[in-house]
């Protein structure tokens, strides 16, 4: 199996045909992601915040459009 070298993405912009660049929010989000290593056990979320997180989570794509979400609010 051969491997293809993929160049690193250094900026979250697209080069336009007129020579300018345009920001891309999706690429910015992907590049800025990070793993949560520490949690504040004293932190709380309101019911509205939890509902909004569930709403956003259900907007994410699923494999084969199965939409088999599971959410547990503790």
8 within domain boundaries: no
Domain that holds residue 41: 13-65
Is the Cα dihedral 42, 46, 47, 48 positive or negative? negative
Total of domains in the chain = 1
pLDDT at position 6 is: 66
Give pLDDT, residue 46: 92
How would you write the pLDDT of the chain (74 residues) with one tens digit per residue? 567 776 666 667 777 788 887 777 777 877 787 787 888 889 998 999 999 999 988 988 888 888 888 888 77
Residue 52 resides in a domain = yes
Residue 2 lies in a domain: no
Q: For residue 29, is it within any domain?
A: yes
For residue 21, count other CB atoms closer than 10 A to its CB: 11
Quick check: is 1 in a domain?
A: no
Describe the chain by its helix, strand, coil percentages, rounded to 5: 30, 10, 60
Q: Is residue 70 part of a domain?
A: no
Q: Is residue 38 part of a domain?
A: yes
pLDDT of residue 9: 66
């Amino acid at each position: 199996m051969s491997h293809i070298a993929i160049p690193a993405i250094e900026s979250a912009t697209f080069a336009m045909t007129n020579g300018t660049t345009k920001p891309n929010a999706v690429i910015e989000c992907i590049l800025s992601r990070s793993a949560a290593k520490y949690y504040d056990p004293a932190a709380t979320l309101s019911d509205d915040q939890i509902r909004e997180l569930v709403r956003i989570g259900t907007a994410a794509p699923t494999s084969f459009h199965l939409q088999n979400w599971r959410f547990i609010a503790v």
